[in-house]
Amino acid sequence: MSKYDRFKQGISIADQSFSFILKNKRLLLYLVIPLLIAVFSPNKMLFAPLLLISIFIYFLAEVALTKHTQDVIEKKESSIKDNIAFGFSKYKTAIAWSLIAIIPVLIKLLHMTAKKVPDLSTTTMEGQKPLNHFLELSILDNYKTLVSTDFFIFAMAFLFVLFIANLLFYLFTAFLPQVVTFEGVGILKGLKKAINTIKHIFFQYIGIIFWITVVLLVIGLPFSIITYVLKTFVTKYNIDKIIEFILYIFVSTSFVIAKAILYKQFKNRKHEA
């Protein structure tokens, strides 16, 4: 199968995930709690303990959702209660994953919150340029790091390397919840199998990401208009956060289901071979 055909297969799998949701709307319930934390937590709450809890809960929820998807594919009876119990049975793996995954999350926060260099052409009230030409990088509201602008290029290059490393980390571990669900392995074997898996289904995975992103953009535009109109007349409630939460639920659920379908197909091909 050519790379383009694999890419198209990924698009087809993304379409299947939407059909799964339309036929099994209960699937939308699994990610509600972790996404509530992600969307409605104040920025000041973004510290290590909350991140650990968020990653832990999301992993368990994704395993539970993957298990439900597996049952649907295999035409088995499935209950939310049993699948959540199955997810929580993987708590040791979830704890180990949380401790590993928090590192690139913190790196991502560093990269996303880096501020631009102050305008060195401006003067202070004393008529002097900013002392030592500092570049200020703000990680959290209460933590700041000062980096001399003499090292600006080095700092930006370093952040770029961190960004690429972060991207590769998420790529190679993308199917860890699916591996844990389908194979029943722990964190170490799971990571090894997840890395091996993405090597074989990379272009299908890119097709899934592409098509779900396209769908998000298409449905996001009318939602943006609705949000703008509602915010004009309803100021009491945080309408934009509610709309964002609804979109997150649909897109994130579709993404997890698509990964489960893709991994199931990959697993079946391996058995046939």
Q: Which pLDDT score is estimated for 138? A: 43
Segment 152-162 shows an average pLDDT of 68
Q: Which pLDDT score is estimated for 206? A: 96
Per-residue pLDDT at 261 exceeds 80: yes
In DSSP terms, which residues pair with 143 in a beta bridge?
A: 140
- Identify whether the C-beta of residue 261 lies closer than 8 Å to the C-beta of residue 16: yes
Q: Which pLDDT score is estimated for 160? A: 73
Q: Give the pLDDT band of residue 154 (cuts 50, 70, 90).
A: low
For residues 133 and 117, give the distance between their C-alpha atoms in angstroms, rounded to a whole number.
9
3 state SS of 117: coil
pLDDT tens sequence across 45-72:
455 577 788 889 999 999 999 999 999 9
- State what percent of residues in the chain have pLDDT above 90: 47
Higher pLDDT, 19 or 238: 19
Higher pLDDT, 249 or 156: 249
Cβ neighbours for 176, distance < 8 A, ≥ 6 positions apart: 97, 190, 191, 194
Per-residue pLDDT at 152 exceeds 70: no
Match 């594919």 to its residue by tokens. Answer: 73
Per-residue pLDDT at 16 exceeds 60: yes
Segment 76-97 shows an average pLDDT of 93
Amino acid at 253: T
Q: What is the mean pLDDT of the chain?
A: 79
Q: Which pLDDT score is estimated for 111? A: 54
pLDDT tens sequence across 93-130:
999 998 888 876 666 666 555 544 444 444 444 444 44
Q: Which pLDDT score is estimated for 244? A: 78
Q: Which pLDDT score is estimated for 159? A: 67
pTM, 2 dp: 0.78
Higher pLDDT, 107 or 217: 217
Amino acid at 63: V
Q: Which pLDDT score is estimated for 118? A: 45
Per-residue pLDDT at 147 exceeds 50: no
3 state SS of 143: strand
Segment 237-241 shows an average pLDDT of 69
Per-residue pLDDT at 267 exceeds 80: yes
In DSSP terms, which residues pair with 146 in a beta bridge?
A: 136
